[in-house]
């Protein structure tokens, strides 16, 4: 089948297996070209098929030589229909890991469900014994609470008042003003239930109860702070409440794991193009301006660069992990540099539909968006007939 992108807003309903495989290989190569990391031996990544989670799996495996278990939602190929990019990414990862002689396994299922946790615990016990790093990188729009059966939806809304700012349709380049009504108390509660730390805590509890968490184990999850421009919709909005909860959970888990010599961190990461961030109003325009400034300064990073730096210069640099006053790892340091933010703010004030292509890196944003689904990747023949049916080896 000839596979072309089919988009609906910020969603692409098709994915290209060869493009995804090449994207994964490029990340693997990036890591292999760099000094090895004295890092974890056996790693569980929850939310492992895209974005920061996939990058963490790649850095752990190819940077530190770790065995890995990746958890992600199933999306098996069907005749005439493509799978998700995450499925193709995971297939490519599994193959590369096998070639490198690393053990790797995939657990497919809803990470929020107890049966997925049980499956992962059982697999770790059987194949690896224990894990010494747990990366929690799930980003989702909804979660069903296993205790109550209730389904929560997360929303991206400001709090306290209406938020008005510029936004872009990144397909057309049209810059418009958007006004977003504040989230309600119920919406905030649900967003915290989806994107806060509850499920991270449940995973650690399940791993500990199952006896598969090694003494001295580390766990990390991801947060975001970002610029003044996006504060009302992000950090001070409903999702910010969820990140506050996640950060509080890290403290709790730090105490819990401290008893076995372990540690828990939230790492505040850089804003970049992923399936999750493209869904947030205003953020794609901010990221387009940010990419422009950071690329010009030679300090632009994607998921893999951020993650390699996180492992090599923070988590496994030897010695105490540097954290901010709130105990968080900061790998958003370059994004939040004063000169970067000043220049982004200047672009922000000036950007319109007419000048967006010159002032910002919208072209780079768009390209990376399509690359998330395996498209616009150099070296792939998009006119060639490809089989959308791809197996993920070692998937349970
Ligand atoms: P992403 O969309 O690229 O990846 C999300 C992952 O979660 C995928 O592997 C997906 O398969 C998995 N997933 C989603 N729902 C699942 C479910 N029910 N069961 C199993 N797996 C599921 O997202 P991302 O941007 O890499 O986000 C990861 C974390 O990083 C989030 O906490 C996000 O808030 C944070 N973060 C993102 C940015 C950014 O700009 N993208 C910046 C800072 C922090």
CATH fold label, 7-140+185-280+301-336: Rossmann fold (3.40.50)
- Does the beta carbon of 72 sit less than 6 angstroms from any atom of ligand 1? yes
pTM over 0.95: yes
Residue-wise pLDDT for 24-56, tens only, equals 999 999 999 999 999 999 999 999 999 999 999
Residue 129 has pLDDT above 80, yes or no: yes
The mean pLDDT value of the chain amounts to 96
**Ligand 1: which of 11, 46, 47 to mutate, judged by most atoms within 8 Å of the beta carbon?**
47
Write the residue with the smallest CA distance to atom 6 of ligand 1: 47
pLDDT value at position 10?
A: 83
The least confident of 89-98, 277-286, 323-332 is 277-286
Give the Å distance between the CA of 302 and the centre of ligand 1: 14
Catalytic residue among 152, 234, 316, 365: 234
Q: Band of the pLDDT at 102, cuts 50, 70, 90?
A: very high
Q: Band of the pLDDT at 11, cuts 50, 70, 90?
A: confident
| 45 known member of a binding site | no
CA distance 392 to 318: 35
Strand segments (E) across the chain: 7-8, 11-12, 42-46, 67-72, 104-108, 131-136, 142-144, 151-153, 163-169, 174-180, 213-223, 263-268, 329-330
The number of the ligand 1 atom at minimal distance from the alpha carbon of 52 is 26
| 272 known member of a binding site | yes
Give the mean pLDDT of 147-160.
95
Q: Is 234 a catalytic residue?
A: yes
Strand segments (E) across 288-350: 329-330
| 224 known member of a binding site | yes
| Sequence spans of domains, the chain | 7-140+185-280+301-336
Distances (CA, A) of 140 to 61, 193, 275, 276: 25, 11, 10, 8
CA distance 42 to 39: 9
Residue-wise pLDDT for 325-361, tens only, equals 999 999 999 999 999 999 999 999 999 999 999 999 9
pLDDT value at position 279?
A: 85
- Does the beta carbon of 267 sit less than 6 angstroms from any atom of ligand 1? no
| 138 known member of a binding site | yes
Give the Å distance between the CA of 354 and the centre of ligand 1: 33
Residue 76 has pLDDT above 80, yes or no: no
Residue-wise pLDDT for 134-152, tens only, equals 999 999 999 999 989 999 9
């Amino acid at each position: 089948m000839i596979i072309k992108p089919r988009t609906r807003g910020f969603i692409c309903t098709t994915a290209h297996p060869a493009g995804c495989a090449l994207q994964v290989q490029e990340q693997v190569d990036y890591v292999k070209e760099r000094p090895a990391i004295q890092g974890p031996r056996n790693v569980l990544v929850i939310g492992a098929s895209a974005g920061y989670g996939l990058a963490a799996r790649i850095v752990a495996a190819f940077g530190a030589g770790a065995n890995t278990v990746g958890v992600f939602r199933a999306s098996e190929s069907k005749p005439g229909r493509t799978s998700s990019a995450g499925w193709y990414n995971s297939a490519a990862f599994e193959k590369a890991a096998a070639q490198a002689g690393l053990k790797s396994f995939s657990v497919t299922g809803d990470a929020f469900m107890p049966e997925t946790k049980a499956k992962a615990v059982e697999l770790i016990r059987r194949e690896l014994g224990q894990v010494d790093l747990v990366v929690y990188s799930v980003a989702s729009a909804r979660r069903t609470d296993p205790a109550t059966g209730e389904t929560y939806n997360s929303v991206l809304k400001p709090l306290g008042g209406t938020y008005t700012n510029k936004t872009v349709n990144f397909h057309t380049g049209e810059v418009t003003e958007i006004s977003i009504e504040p989230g309600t108390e119920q919406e905030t509660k649900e967003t915290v239930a989806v994107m806060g730390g509850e499920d991270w805590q449940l995973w650690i509890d399940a791993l500990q109860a199952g006896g598969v968490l090694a003494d001295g184990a580390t766990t990390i999850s991801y947060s975001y702070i970002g610029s003044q421009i996006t504060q009302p919709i992000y950090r001070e909005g409903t999702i910010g409440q969820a990140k506050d909860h996640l950060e509080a959970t890290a403290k709790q888990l730090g105490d819990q794991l401290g008893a076995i010599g372990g540690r828990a961190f939230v790492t505040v990461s850089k804003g970049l193009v992923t399936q999750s961030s493209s869904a947030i109003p205003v953020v794609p325009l901010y990221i387009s301006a940010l990419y422009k400034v950071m690329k010009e300064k030679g300090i632009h990073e994607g998921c893999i660069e951020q993650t390699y730096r996180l492992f090599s210069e923070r988590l496994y640099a030897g010695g105490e992990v540097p954290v901010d006053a709130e105990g968080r790892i900061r790998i958003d340091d370059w994004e939040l540099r004063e000169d970067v933010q000043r220049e982004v703010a200047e672009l922000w004030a000036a950007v319109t539909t007419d000048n967006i292509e010159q002032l910002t890196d919208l072209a780079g944003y768009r390209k990376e968006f399509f690359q998330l689904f395996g498209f616009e990747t150099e070296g792939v023949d998009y006119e060639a007939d490809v089989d959308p049916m791809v197996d993920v080896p070692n998937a349970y």
